Structure 1
Amino acid sequence: MIIDLPATTTSQVNSKLVHLREQGGVNALSRVLTLVIVTDDDARTEEVIDAANDASREHPCRVIMVARGAKKAANRLDAQIRVGGDAGASEVIVLRLYGQLADHGDSCVVPLLLPDAPVVAWWPYDAPAVPASDPIGRLAARRITDAANDRNPLRALDARTKSYTQGDSDLAWARITHWRALLAAALDLPPYDRVTGASVVGDPNSPSADLLAGWLAARLKVPVRRGKSTEGEGIVSAELQRRSGSIELYRPDGRIGTLTQPGQPPRRVALARRPVAECIAEELRRLDADEIYSSALTGLSKVTRGRVAHKSRSGS
């Protein structure tokens, strides 16, 4: 069910929510958090709401979408409430703000927050320079950005490094969870030689490739080189160098990876690029500070850039 409330107020939106609840169409008591999504790109609102709805099946929540419209327009708040099949396992409130209201989304959000429930803020596209200082960011226990969707992904990742505050995270980090798991598991198998160096190769503008390199530099405390590749999008390969032979995870097609290591036959592993809904669901599983993400950001300063030489991969 979709209910439109043009030229409305937050008080009227709240009254409509209470009315729906009394009718039995909405059960706010089952919501575990409030997810506030902020965007200036109204054309892509639906795909962001779809991702939030998919994530809500694991984390039932109230989703408040703040879509900032033209600032030169007259002050106006248009709202939309979605429940039932149009809202996944959540209830969705879309707020379209025009005029001076576009700069005061926090004042429109506060009356609609679930009581005694944590708040998570998500900027799916261009995020503020310092999310923790943003008016909506100050309301949130967790602040999620997505450097990959910024106009300049690597510059955005550099800004995240400089502005990091406990509670910050980025979907570029969630996209490398499977890479980190496979590389860590490979080190649990013999031979147990010390890693002497590492490299990550990927798209020149991939913040996920940079974060993987930063994570390796921070956790292994070895030289790490970040190379460029034109073979595929995102991360193409990661290599851990050891005296007995390297561990290498190679994924040129964005779907299937090949893991090679000494004393083991090559293994094909599922390593498809993760959809946004899966990444945002992972981020919503924890509301405390992500210290490993913080250390990966710190590790970026220890990563060198340049060409990475690889052995032949024929037959892999």
Structure 2
Amino acid sequence: MKIDLTETTSSKINKALVEGRRAVGTPTSGMVLTLVIVTDEENAYDALKAANEASREHPSRTLVVIKRVSRSPRDRAKARLDAEVRVGTEAGTGETVLLRLYGEVIDHAQSVVLPLLLPDAPVVVWWAVNAPAAPAQDPLGALAQRRVTDAYADEQPIHELSARAETYVPGDTDLSWTRITPWRSMLAAALDQAPCTVTSAEVTGEEFNPSCELLAMWLADRLNVPVTRKVSDGPGLTAVRMESSIGAIVLDRPDGSLATLSMHGQPDRAVALKRRETAELLAEELRRLDPDEIYARALKFGVDRLGHGNGEQPADGQQPAAGEKAADGSDPARPAAKKAAKKAAAK
């Protein structure tokens, strides 16, 4: 069921939600959280589709905030709110409200969203595109316990990781980190099967892919070894190679679907490592609403401390590469055992 409202208010939207639930025969609300999606008109369809699929696992009230750009100065000075309320089969297993903001109300989106939040339920804000520099300081982000961004959607994703590290607040996370959960689990399991000491690692993937950098920083932080970042044609993350006391441990995925795990003294094993859709990533993030400390440590490790396959050295003033000594002889990386890597793989 769809209810269109033009030049409306938050109270009228709440009333429409109640009427819609009664019309479809579900007068009570069974949602477990409020998901606020901030996007533009171009990406609204894909973001909403992913949220509806994720709602099968996490029934939620989804509020899609679309900031429309007015053409004339007169329209930009006029505040206007249009809404589309969807309940029943039109909204997955929850409720959906599309909020289109015009004029001055664009700068006060939190005033529109706040009355529509479910009472006594967690709030998650997901910026599908154009995430703010400091999500926790954004007016909408301040309403949420969990703030989800996607550095991959940014024009400069690697630079975005550095910016995220500077403004990180517990509760922040990024879908680029969620994409490497299967990789982290598989690598931790491989180290658990073969007792050894890792001496170095190499992460290979397409250029400007923040997931590759995050995986490399996670390995460097948890294993305290030099990690080199190499570039391939993709798709996405293609291979991880760890040199150890028993030989090389290689996880190779050249086609973006099926990977091969190679370890010394053991036969090669095929591993399903498919690139996941946004709906799966979002559903995973909604499973936990507490701060992700492992993500925070990997993010703050620093992209500049990774080695490069082309032999470039860190520029002046940058941190030394993982596992190297600083000028004063101290080791900037924190020691971490193999068991810590296994524990960190579980989100």
Counterpart residue number, 2:321: none
| Aligned residues of 2:204 and 2:232 also touching (Cα < 8 A) | yes
Q: Establish whether residue 307 from structure 1 lines up as the match of residue 306 from structure 2.
A: no
Instruction: Judge conservation of contact 1:199–1:239 (CA < 8 Å) in 2.
Output: yes
Residue pairs, 1:135-146, within 5 angstroms: 135-146=139-150
Q: CA deviation at 1:113?
A: 0.3
Distance (Å, rounded) in 1 between the aligned partners of 2:248 and 2:190: 11
What corresponds to 1:312 in structure 2? none
Deviations along 1:277-306, whole A, 9 cap, x unmatched?
000000000110000100111223432223
Alpha-carbon contact 2:24-2:88 (below 8 Å) kept: no
Q: TM-score, normalised by structure 1?
A: 0.93
Aligned pairs for 1:139-218 (under 5 A) are 139-190=143-194, 192-218=195-221
Specify the alignment match of 1:219 in structure 2. 222
Give the partner amino acid of 1:181: S
Deviates more, 1:235-244 or 1:132-141: 235-244
Q: Distance in 2 between matches of 1:125 and 1:193?
A: 42
Aligned-partner SS, 1:283 = helix
Q: How does 1:1-316 map to 2 (within 5 A)?
A: 1-23=1-23, 25-26=25-26, 29-39=29-39, 41-71=40-70, 72=73, 73=75, 74-190=78-194, 192-230=195-233, 232-301=234-303, 302-307=305-310
Distance 2:288 2:188 in 1: 21
Deviation at 1:46, TM superposition (A): 1.0
1:31-52 deviations in Å (ceiling 9; x for gaps) = 110000111x202211110100
> Counterparts of 1:243 and 1:146 in 2: how far apart (Å)?
37
Residue 26 of structure 1: how far off its partner (Å): 4.3
* Deviation (angstroms), 1:127: 0.3
Q: CA deviation at 1:162?
A: 1.1
Cα 1:54/1:98, change in 2 over 3 Å: same
CA distance in 1 between counterparts of 2:62 and 2:96 reads 5
- Cα distance between partner residues in 2 of 1:252 and 1:283: 26
- Which amino acid counterpart does residue 126 of structure 1 have in structure 2? N
CA pair 26-35 structure 1, distance change in 2 beyond 3 A: farther
Uncovered stretches (5+) of structure 2, i.e. residues with no partner? 312-347
Hey, what's the Cα distance between the residues in 1 that align with 2:255 and 2:220? Answer: 26
Structure 2 CA distance for partners of 1:267 and 1:165, relative to 1, 3 Å:
same
SS at match of 1:215: helix
Identity %: 51
- Look up the match of 1:313: none
After TM superposition, the score normalised by the length of structure 2 is: 0.85
CA distance in 2, matches of 1:29, 1:17: 10
**103-112 or 154-163, larger mean C-alpha shift:** 154-163
Q: Does the 8 Å CA contact 1:218/1:298 hold for their aligned counterparts?
A: no
Going from structure 1 to structure 2, the CA distance change for 1:242 and 1:158 (only over 3 Å counts) comes to same
Structure 1 CA distance for aligned equivalents of residues 155 and 6 of structure 2: 32
Q: Deviations over 1:233-278 (max 9, x none)?
A: 2111111110221111111111111110111111111111110000
Find the residue that maps to 1:59 and give its secondary structure: coil
Report the residue type matching 2:141 in the other structure. G
Contact 1:211 1:300 in 2 (8 A): no
| Contact 2:127/2:149 (<8 A) preserved | yes
- Shift of the 242–28 alpha-carbon distance from structure 1 to 2, 3 Å rule, reads farther
Secondary structure of the corresponding residue to residue 21 of structure 1: helix
Whole-Å separation in 2 of the counterparts to 1:23 and 1:257 = 49
| Alignment partner, residue 311 of structure 1 | none
Alignment-mate amino acid for residue 268 of structure 1: A
Name the stretch that deviates more: 137-146 or 297-306: 297-306
